[in-house]
């Protein structure tokens, strides 16, 4: 994998070993960030971060800060190594369960301009109620939420839908904050 654009364009990103992590392909990441648009100064939350590829791409494209949430120890070490090797600043890596972290972020009244959610495909149906509860209050008024699921899944979150597109086995669904995503 590689960084698609921005200050670290072309640099390689490592992925955790094994089959537990399914990194978002370069092609899908490129399409995601074409849909998202400019990220200058944005605050990003990368849930189920895996290798950190989505959040790293956001930082490379100008996001000011990114919080990476991943519970797998090897994946967390991979994210940290990727951030170190790319010399990216403004990143915080949290080793924890994503839903628990979401609840804490909501309790802390934090807001994000871009929320990236890429859970293991098989977990999404059981996660949808918690995501529907915790994600809307975390999204800045003009923010965007990008959800990656299995292509056969039609996610339904209580936010305005911007678009939903299939890329091979993946579906990318983009939701807008309550302000309609006007800042992107």
The domain in which residue 78 lies consists of 27-176
Indicate if the pLDDT at residue 20 is higher than 60: no
**Residue 130 belongs to domain with CATH number:** 3.40.50.150
Whether 14 is covered by a domain: the verdict is no
User: What one-character DSSP code corresponds to residue 23?
Assistant: P
Determine the Cα angle at 23 with ends 19 and 29, to 5°: 165
Q: What is residue 153's predicted lDDT score, i.e. its pLDDT?
A: 94
Whether 21 is covered by a domain: the verdict is no
**Could you give the angle at which helices 26-36 and 53-60 cross, rounded to 10 degrees?**
50
92-119 pLDDT, tens digit each: 999 999 999 999 999 999 999 999 999 9
Judge whether 70 and 50 are in contact, CB under 8 Å. yes
Judge whether 103 and 5 are in contact, CB under 8 Å. no
Whether 2 is covered by a domain: the verdict is no
Looking at the structure of the chain, the number of domains it has is 1
Q: What is residue 183's predicted lDDT score, i.e. its pLDDT?
A: 44
Indicate if the pLDDT at residue 19 is higher than 50: no
Return phi, psi of residue 174, to 5°.
-115, 125
Q: What is residue 23's predicted lDDT score, i.e. its pLDDT?
A: 65
Indicate if the pLDDT at residue 184 is higher than 50: no
Whether 16 is covered by a domain: the verdict is no
- Tell the residue number behind the tokens 């940290």, with chain if given: 80
User: What one-character DSSP code corresponds to residue 64?
Assistant: S
Alpha helices for the chain (secondary structure H): 26-36, 53-60, 73-86, 98-107, 124-138
Whether 41 is covered by a domain: the verdict is yes
Judge whether 109 and 37 are in contact, CB under 8 Å. no
Whether 184 is covered by a domain: the verdict is no
Rounded CA separation 12/1 (Å): 6
Indicate if the pLDDT at residue 143 is higher than 90: yes
pTM for the full predicted model: 0.90
Whether 17 is covered by a domain: the verdict is no
Question: Which of 108, 98, 110, 100 is CA-nearest to residue 47?
Answer: 98
Whether 138 is covered by a domain: the verdict is yes
């Amino acid at each position: 994998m590689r960084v698609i654009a921005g200050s670290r364009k072309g640099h390689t990103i490592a992925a955790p070993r094994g089959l537990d992590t399914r990194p978002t392909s370069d092609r899908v990441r490129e399409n995601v960030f074409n849909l998202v648009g400019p990220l200058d100064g944005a605050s990003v939350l990368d849930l189920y971060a895996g290798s950190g590829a989505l959040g790293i791409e956001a930082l490379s494209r100008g996001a000011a800060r990114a919080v990476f949430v991943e519970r797998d120890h090897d994946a967390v070490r991979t994210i940290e190594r990727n951030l170190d090797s790319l010399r990216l600043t403004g990143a915080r890596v949290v080793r924890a369960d994503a839903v628990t972290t979401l609840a804490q972020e909501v309790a802390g009244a934090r807001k994000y301009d871009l929320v990236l959610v890429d859970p293991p495909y098989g977990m999404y149906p059981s996660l949808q109620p918690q995501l529907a509860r915790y994600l809307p209050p975390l999204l800045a008024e003009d923010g965007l939420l990008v959800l990656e699921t299995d292509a056969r899944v039609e996610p339904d979150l209580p936010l305005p839908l911007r678009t939903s597109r299939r890329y091979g086995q993946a579906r990318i669904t983009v939701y807008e904050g309550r302000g309609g995503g006007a800042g992107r």
